[in-house]
Amino acid sequence: MRRTIIITAVAALMCAGAAAQGTNKRSETMDRTEICKKNYTALFGGEALTGQGSDPEMMDILQKFIFGDVFTTGEMDMKMREMVTCVTLASMQTLPQLKAHAGAALNVGVTPEELREAMYLTAPYIGFPRMLNAVGTVNEVLKERGVALPLGREGSLDEKTRGERGQAIRDSLYPGGLAKELSGMPGGMGEDVERFVTEYCFGDIYTRGALDVKTRELLAYCILTAIGAEEQLHPHYHGCLRAGNTPEDVTAAVIQALPYVGFPAALKALMIVKEENAKANGGVPQGLSAFPTGAANDAYAQYFTGRSYLAPLTSDKRLNSPVANVTFEPGCRNNWHSHTGGQILIAVGGRGYYQEKGKPARELLPGDVVEIAPDVVHWHGAAPDSWFSHLAIECNPQSNKNTWLDAVTDEQYREATRKE
C-alpha cells in the first residue's frame, strides 16, 4: 500500500508539471489554418490570414508556418514560445519584429519583469549596445501599455557576494568553468576573463529574479543559435540539461526560433543537440524508462564507480521533495554514503541493487521502492550486466546533507550482486 501511495504521488507531481507546461499540439479536429488564426488572435489580438496588405501571399505562408506549424511542434506553452521568440529577435536586432512580439508576450502572460530579464540575459552573449537596443524597444511597449518605469529591482548581489554566488551557479552548470580553455593566455589574462564570466554572466545576470536558471539556460541556447555561436552551443546543451531542461525542451526551443533565424542556423543547433545527446547517453538503451536520461553526472563523478547520468525532474525550490532521475551504466554504483534527512528511491528501468552497511544487498526492478532512513550508510547502482535507472527523492531538503564515504570495492560489489 505504501509503495502505491509513493508512486501515485510522484506520478501526480510529474503530471502537474506537464499540465503547467502546456502544449499547442494540433488537434485532430483543427487544421493548421484554424490553429494559426486561434494562436494569432491570442498573441496579437487581431485576425490572421486577412488577404490584405501589399504582400498577402507571403503573409499567408508566414503566418500558417509560424502559428500553425511551428506552434504545434514540441511541448511548450505560449509564454515560453514568446520569450524564445523575443530573445531570438533581440539577438538578431530585428527591432520592429521584437516590438510586435514583446506586445504578444505580454498578451499571453509574460510579465514585464520576465520580459525585461529575458532582454538583460542577452547582454553577455550579444554585448551591451545591442542589449540596450532591445531593452529600449521593450520599454517602448511597456510605456504604451501604461507600465511605470523603471521596473522594480531584481538584483540581490553586492560586491562581496557576486563572485561566490556566480561561481555556485557556474559550477552547477559547467563544472570546471573555462580554466582549461583560457589557460596560457598572454599576460595570464585568461584568469581575468574566467572571472568576468563567473561574476558578470553568472553572478550579475543569472542570480537576478523573475526568471529561474532553467529558463535562462534554455533562452541562452536560443540566443547562441541566433548568433551562430557553434562552439558555445556544445557546452550550453549540457548546461541546459543540468539546469533541468530535457533534450526535447532544447529541440522544441530551437524549432521555435527556426522561422526567425532560418533553416541553416536552426539545423546547425539541432545537429549539435543530436550529437551531444548521443554522446551524453553513451549508449543508454532507448526506452530504459519513461523519464529523461539527462546529462553526464560530472559534478558527482568522483563519488561514482563507472558512468552515471542525472536528469532533475523538478526545479521549483518551494517544493519540499526535489526529484531527479539517476541512470547507471552496467556495473556503475555510487560510494557508500548517507543522508541526514533520508531519501526515497523508486526503480523505473533496468535492474539494479541497493545495500545498507552490514546487510545483504537487495535487487531492484522497476516499481520497487526503497525508503532510506536518515544517516543510514548505503550504496545503490546497476547490476553488472544491466543498465539501471531510479528516481531519487530528497527528503527534508532544507536540512538534508550527503556524507560521502569510501568507494564500494570490486570485491564488495561482486559479493553483493552475486547470484546464488
pLDDT digits (tens, 9 = 90+) for 379-390: 999 999 889 999
Query: Quick one: 265 and 331 in the same domain?
Result: no
State residue 283's pLDDT score: 67
% of residues, the chain, pLDDT over 90? 66
Structural domain boundaries, residue 345: 295-417
CA angle 211, 201, 325 (to 5 degrees): 55
Query: Quick one: 61 and 100 in the same domain?
Result: yes
Query: Quick one: 261 and 327 in the same domain?
Result: no
- For residue range 253-296, list pLDDT tens digits in order: 999 999 999 999 999 999 999 888 776 666 677 678 999 888 88
Give domain status of residue 158, yes or no: yes
State residue 3's pLDDT score: 39
- Asked if residue 324 has pLDDT above 90, the reply is yes
Q: Which distant-in-sequence residues (6+ apart) come within 8 Å of 48 by Cβ?
A: 36, 37, 40, 41, 63, 67
- For residue range 62-102, list pLDDT tens digits in order: 999 999 999 999 999 999 999 999 999 999 999 999 999 99
Give domain status of residue 373, yes or no: yes
Query: Quick one: 79 and 125 in the same domain?
Result: yes
Number of domains in the chain: 2
- For residue range 207-230, list pLDDT tens digits in order: 999 999 999 999 999 999 999 999
- Asked if residue 25 has pLDDT above 80, the reply is no
Give domain status of residue 255, yes or no: yes
Q: What is the domain-level CATH number for residue 55? A: 1.20.1290.10
% of residues, the chain, pLDDT over 70? 90
Query: Quick one: 371 and 254 in the same domain?
Result: no
Query: Quick one: 193 and 317 in the same domain?
Result: no
Q: What is the domain-level CATH number for residue 376? A: 2.60.120.10
Question: The whole model's pTM is what?
Answer: 0.65
State residue 281's pLDDT score: 61
- For residue range 348-406, list pLDDT tens digits in order: 999 999 999 999 999 999 999 999 999 999 999 999 988 999 999 988 877 778 899 99
Query: Quick one: 184 and 325 in the same domain?
Result: no
Query: Quick one: 210 and 343 in the same domain?
Result: no
Q: Which distant-in-sequence residues (6+ apart) come within 8 Å of 259 by Cβ?
A: 62, 65, 66, 70
Give domain status of residue 354, yes or no: yes
3-state secondary structure of 243: coil
Give domain status of residue 337, yes or no: yes
DSSP H stretches of helix in 22-156 = 32-44, 56-63, 78-92, 95-107, 112-121, 123-126, 128-144
- Asked if residue 17 has pLDDT above 60, the reply is no
- Asked if residue 2 has pLDDT above 50, the reply is no
Give domain status of residue 183, yes or no: yes
Query: Quick one: 263 and 348 in the same domain?
Result: no
- For residue range 93-134, list pLDDT tens digits in order: 999 999 999 999 999 999 999 999 999 999 999 999 999 999
